[in-house]
Structures are given as structure tokens and as C-alpha cells.
């Protein structure tokens, strides 16, 4: 990791790990207390499980919101926290978290960002969403040169012999794009496209499946049913993958680029190594401050556990609120912060950037 030297670390008051609904609302409650947040999110966008697992599915139990999708909930919360101008760091996974001599925490991210913070809020849900990988020995060393995961631009595959692994909409969409080139740029066509899935039933829209079959019929795409069992390399290059078909026969498939489109799966990641008290992979907190076993580190939302815990978004909103008040004692040790109401407090309304409505 080419992290900048420690002297370059930014000194901040609060770091929120995760940008799902509870992480976003944590920013809001901290903002109302006058605390600016830095948010670390391993994905390139906010929303957490709402965005990864059910962006288009309805949620009915957000209080006072009869129905909204995961995407809509995220958008509503982003709008609500906008007045607080949180520093959003997308594509950053927390790698290390270390208590300093001055009792603050040094956080280093996967992109080398260093933050020295008074408080940490772990709102990481079920963990960081990472692309599912293939358990093939030796494959990892080609990541970024010949093996790619979700989010890679089409241009990477231009002119290549590509094998796309997967059977859902994302996999089919990419395979179809590589046959045609990008909408804007047909030079992004791959030299050859093979779609490889472990069974012959695809979990994609009928329209995409039909287009795929048509391309296979015309010889533009190849569809294989089987599983990768090994690889061949030559002079430091990946040249073939070994595919075990449903007929029990193995084939060596030549390629120079492998696109793994097996979706995302959550991983607790380094959080499990920070020495915080845990119970069944949840962080233990108290129901008064939502503090972990490490003073200054709070845990809110699906990642925490306490007596009575229910993994519901609305409970996470409450947890983030009480955690914010508890954290204020670390950020402003000499100030007592009573509860104020957004309906009546001119200072909260100033923070929110809304004109005080006098009656």
C-alpha cells in the first residue's frame, strides 16, 4: 500500500464506515450536533444493501413512508443529509484502524487515504460488498491484467478473446455488449465472446436471453455450460482455462481475458480483526450509547447486536441517533448538548440551511 506518510493524515471528528441507510442517517444526526462526517464506502456508490440487494424492490416499513424502493430510500436520505456536506470517499475500504497515543484512531483505506479521527461509526451492515471470486488456484495473480470483476469499462475487453463467467443479467448484458461494441463505440467489440455458466438456465430477462441465443446461432457468441476447474499459463500470461462440462468432459478454452460476473457478496473484512467484542459475527454494543467494546468506536445498523436487537432499518436510525449524542462527548468534551428539535430550534434550522419559519 502506497499510503501517504502519517504527517499527511487528515484530522477529522467522525468517520462513518458504510453508506447504507443507517450510515447516511448517521451523517444526518452528527450534522445536527455540528459534527462533520467522513464516509468510507468500498463500493463506487452509496446505498449499501438497499442498492446491492433490492434497489427496485418495495420497502413498506420505513415510518411515514408508505412505500419506497431501496434506490428511492437512498436518494431520500442523500437529499436529507445534503446540508451537512459530508466528505464521501467511494471505493475506499478500511484496511487498518489503530488507536494512537492521543486516543484518536488512525484509519487507513485500500486507496491509501489516512484519517485521524476522534470517533468511528461502523455502519457496515453485513460487511463490505465484494465481487464473488472463483476458487481457482493461481487466478488471483492475474487480477487487473487479465482477470476482471464488476465495474470494468468495456474498453478493457476491446479486441480480446473474452470469457464471461456468470448467468444473470449483468453477465448477459456484458456478453451482449462485447459482441456489438459499446453503443457509442463499436471499436470496443471483443475478438471473441464466450459466456460460461454452471447450468443452462440463465437468470436474465427474456429479451436478453433471446438476443444471446440469436448471437450464438449466428456464431457471434459461444455459450458453454460448465465450471472452471483450472488454468494454463505461459510466460506469465493466462492462456487457457479448463472447463468441466456437465457431460463430465474437460475442455481447454483459449482466452486472453476473463470477466467474472458472479455478483457481490458481503465480507466482514478487516473489521473482524480490530479486537472489538463480537457475538456471532456481530459487534456487541450497549443500547444506551451503541458503543462497541472500544470507547470512541460505535456500531449501528445490521452489524451490531444488543439485547432485543431487530435487524430493521428504522432501528438503525434510532441507534445512529443515540450514538451521535454519545459521540458528541468525544468531539466536544466540554460542551453539554441537550436535545433540540428541528421544528423549533433556530440553530438546527441554520445547520439545515432552512429559513426559520416564525409563527
Binding footprint of a copy of itself on the chain (CB under 8 A):
21, 25, 28-29, 32, 54, 56-68, 70, 73, 76-77, 79-80, 287-289, 306-308, 310-312, 314-315, 317-319, 321-322, 325-326, 339, 342-344, 348-349, 352, 354, 357, 359
Kindly state the smallest distance separating residue 60's Cβ from a copy of itself, in Å: 4
Angle ∠(82,86,87) on CA atoms, nearest 5: 135
Cβ-based nearer residue to a copy of itself, 156 or 340? 340
Nearest to 256 by CA among 270, 275, 235, 274: 235
Three-state SS at 299: strand
Cβ-based nearer residue to a copy of itself, 217 or 358? 358
Cβ-based nearer residue to a copy of itself, 43 or 204? 204
What are the strands of the beta sheet with 304-305, ordered from one edge?
278-279, 282-284, 304-305
Rounded Cα gap, residues 271 and 293, in angstroms: 13
Kindly state the smallest distance separating residue 326's Cβ from a copy of itself, in Å: 8
Angle ∠(184,190,193) on CA atoms, nearest 5: 125
Cβ-based nearer residue to a copy of itself, 32 or 195? 32
Please say whether the beta carbons of 119 and 36 come within 8 A. no
Kindly state the smallest distance separating residue 131's Cβ from a copy of itself, in Å: 21
Kindly state the smallest distance separating residue 177's Cβ from a copy of itself, in Å: 22
Cβ-based nearer residue to a copy of itself, 238 or 327? 327
Kindly state the smallest distance separating residue 298's Cβ from a copy of itself, in Å: 12
Kindly state the smallest distance separating residue 341's Cβ from a copy of itself, in Å: 8
Per-residue burial over 227-239, b = 16 or more CB atoms within 10 Å of its CB, e = otherwise: bbeebeeeeeebe
Cβ-based nearer residue to a copy of itself, 244 or 351? 351
Nearest to 84 by CA among 118, 129, 133, 39: 39
Amino acid at each position: 500500500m502506497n499510503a501517504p506518510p502519517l504527517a499527511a493524515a487528515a484530522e477529522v471528528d467522525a468517520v462513518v464506515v458504510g453508506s447504507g441507510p443507517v450510515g447516511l442517517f448517521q451523517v444526518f444526526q452528527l450534522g445536527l450536533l455540528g459534527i462533520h462526517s467522513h464516509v468510507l464506502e468500498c463500493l463506487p456508490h452509496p446505498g449499501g444493501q438497499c442498492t446491492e440487494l433490492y434497489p427496485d424492490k418495495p420497502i413498506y416499513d420505513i415510518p411515514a413512508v408508505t412505500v419506497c424502493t431501496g434506490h428511492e430510500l437512498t436518494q431520500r436520505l442523500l437529499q436529507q443529509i445534503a446540508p451537512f456536506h459530508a466528505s464521501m470517499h467511494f471505493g475506499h475500504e478500511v484496511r487498518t484502524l489503530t488507536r494512537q497515543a492521543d486516543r484518536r484512531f488512525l484509519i487507513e483505506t485500500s486507496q491509501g487515504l489516512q484519517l485521524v479521527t476522534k470517533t468511528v461509526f461502523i455502519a457496515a451492515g453485513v460487511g463490505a460488498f465484494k465481487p464473488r471470486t472463483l476458487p481457482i488456484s493461481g487466478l488471483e495473480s492475474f487480477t487487473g491484467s487479465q482477470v476482471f470483476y464488476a465495474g470494468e469499462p468495456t474498453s478493457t475487453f476491446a479486441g480480446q478473446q473474452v470469457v464471461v463467467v456468470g448467468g444473470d443479467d449483468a453477465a448477459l448484458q456484458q456478453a451482449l455488449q462485447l459482441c456489438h461494441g459499446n453503443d457509442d463505440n463499436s471499436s470496443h467489440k471483443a475478438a471473441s465472446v464466450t459466456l460460461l455458466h454452471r447450468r443452462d438456465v440463465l437468470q436474465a430477462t427474456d429479451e436478453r436471453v433471446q438476443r444471446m441465443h440469436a448471437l450464438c446461432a449466428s456464431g457471434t457468441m459461444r455459450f458453454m455450460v460448465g465450471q472452471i476447474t483450472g488454468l494454463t499459463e505461459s510466460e506469465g500470461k493466462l492462456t487457457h482455462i479448463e472447463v468441466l462440462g456437465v457431460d463430465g468432459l474437460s475442455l481447454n478454452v483459449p482466452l486472453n481475458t476473463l470477466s467474472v460476473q458472479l455478483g457481490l457478496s458481503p465480507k466482514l473484512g478487516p473489521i473482524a480483526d480490530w479486537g472489538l467484542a463480537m457475538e456471532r459475527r456481530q459487534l456487541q454494543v450497549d443500547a444506551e450509547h451503541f458503543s462497541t467494546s472500544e470507547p470512541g468506536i460505535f456500531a449501528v445498523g445490521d452489524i451490531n447486536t444488543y439485547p432485543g436487537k431487530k435487524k430493521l432499518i428504522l432501528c438503525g436510525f434510532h441507534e445512529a441517533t443515540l450514538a451521535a449524542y454519545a459521540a458528541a462527548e468525544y468531539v466536544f468534551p466540554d460542551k453539554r448538548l441537550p436535545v433540540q428539535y428541528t421544528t423549533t430550534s433556530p440553530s438546527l434550522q441554520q445547520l439545515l440551511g432552512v429559513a426559520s419559519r416564525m409563527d
